[in-house]
Amino acid sequence: MIIKKGWLTLFLVVIVLGVLTYFLVIKKNPEKQATGSDTKQSTASAQKTEEAPLPVKTVAAARGELVIRLKSPGEAVTERRIALKAEVAGVIKKLDVQEGRHVKRGDLLVELGDQEYRLRLETAEARRLKALSSLLLENQFAPLVQEAKSSKVERLNKSKEDFEKAEALFNKGLLSRTDFEKAQKDYESVLIETGMKKGEIQAASKGLTEAEVEVKIARMELEKTKILAPFAGIITGIKVSPEEHIETGRELFTLVDIREIKVIARVLESEVGKLRVRREVDLRFSAYPEKVFKGKVAAISPVINPEDKTCAVHIVVGNPQEEIKPGMHAEVEIAADVYKDRLLVPQEAVLVRGGRKLVFVVEEGLAKWRYIEAGLENEQYAEVLNGVKASEKVIVEGHFTLAHDARVSIVD
């Protein structure tokens, strides 16, 4: 029993010492306890105040042109494309062409065997010389022609004057072709009667004129044995081989010039009235997805296709690198309406919250939430009717999670 009382006494002593310690140590230092709590609160507040500003990119709102574009499919074609054909028959002695080869204007592409055509020219020349010799001999021994009488001279001059007047009136559209041809025949009749065309008549009667025509024909046929490039371009679609005998009219190959391409776009009937010749056009081809080609409207067809109610719009685009090939499909964007002096912001700056459009502008390092009234728009820009002033900086990157009055820093 004595042992139990001892343990109880010890337990009570421990409790008393604990209570005394609490009052003597903790209660006597309330300021120290409070100071620790305040320090924690101050640290949290300082951290909140010193949060780093959010990086954003901005663009100044500015006045400019707003271009509304029409989109349409199109197809690339070239107008300088010809199928070269043989104009005379013969055996191909030289064929200087390859698929895809670039040639210059005047380059010799095909040469046919020309021996037969040279013989024809020599024969025609011999006939011409024979007829000429016969005419010269006849004139050498013919009696001298007396000078025309004064009356014939006057008649000739009068007829020439009448013809020249008739020709002038005909060229101006003031005289019919029938009357002009009559004046011409009257003048030629006087020339013959007065002896002024005696030499031509004699030459014709002796066969000289016909021989000269044969010479010209034979020379032309000889020249046609050599086929030259009519313009600079690219060879394609070769259909003949060296040493092959070809007939007149045989297609040899195709020559195409693609340094300038025409794109035919199909625009809806309801939108044709918005188009103008020389308007700017953007063209995109699937072969070059990252590149935009620039062209201009060259012509607008006056006819509407009755089947699909579209109008053909002809667009010219330079192709110095020959990247665009005829037959390629194009996505066409034509400048239809141009609105000048509009306050514009990039589409990236416009957000929609609660069904209303807004932008963030930067004022003294803070992002300010501004509701705007938008006007006309295209894919790049939106017109601002109110809510933003010219030269104000609108945020275009880093603003999707911004709050009003958030601290921001502008980065390039």
Q: Under 8 Å CB-to-CB from 181, ≥6 apart: which residues?
A: none
**Mean pLDDT, rounded, for 9-37:** 54
At 236, is the pLDDT very low, low, confident or very high (cuts 50, 70, 90)?
very high
**Mean pLDDT, rounded, for 242-270:** 94
Q: Is the pLDDT of residue 235 over 90?
A: yes
- What are the tens digits of pLDDT across the range 52-90? 889 999 999 999 999 888 999 999 999 899 999 999 999
Q: Is the pLDDT of residue 13 over 70?
A: no
At 254, is the pLDDT very low, low, confident or very high (cuts 50, 70, 90)?
very high
Q: How does strand 245-246 pair with strand 251-256? A: unpaired
Q: What DSSP line would sit under 263-313, residue for residue? A: EEEEEEGGGGGG--TT-EEEEEETTEEEEEEEEEEEEEEEEEETTTTEEEE
- What are the tens digits of pLDDT across the range 171-199? 888 888 888 878 877 776 676 566 555 55
pLDDT of residue 126: 79
pLDDT of residue 207: 54
* All domains in the chain, ordered by first residue: 54-65+341-410 (2.40.420.20), 69-78+258-340 (2.40.30.170), 82-110+230-256 (2.40.50.100), 117-222 (no CATH)
Percent of the chain with pLDDT over 90: 52
CA 280 to CA 268: how far, in whole Å?
18
**Mean pLDDT, rounded, for 1-8:** 52
Of 44 and 115, the structure prediction assigns the larger pLDDT to: 115
Strand order in the sheet with 81-85: 81-85, 251-256, 233-236, 102-103
> What is the pLDDT of the chain when averaged over all its residues?
82
SS3 171: helix
CA 71 to CA 268: how far, in whole Å?
10
- What are the tens digits of pLDDT across the range 302-356? 999 999 999 999 999 999 999 999 999 999 999 888 899 999 999 999 999 888 9
Q: Is the pLDDT of residue 37 over 80?
A: no
Amino acid at residue number 229: A
Selection from 152-156, 201-205, 311-315, 404-408 with the highest mean pLDDT:
311-315
Whose structure tokens read 């953007």? 282
**3-state SS track over 123-136:** HHHHHHHHHHHHHH
Q: CA separation (Å) from 218 to 199, 221, 247, 283? A: 25, 5, 17, 51
Q: Take residue 339 and report the two structure tokens written for it.
A: 């609105």
At 3, is the pLDDT very low, low, confident or very high (cuts 50, 70, 90)?
very low
pLDDT of residue 44: 45
**Mean pLDDT, rounded, for 244-267:** 95
Residue 318: strand pairing partners: 260
pLDDT of residue 19: 57
- What are the tens digits of pLDDT across the range 121-159? 888 887 777 766 665 565 555 554 444 456 767 777 888
pLDDT of residue 188: 65
Q: Take residue 49 and report the two structure tokens written for it.
A: 């105040």
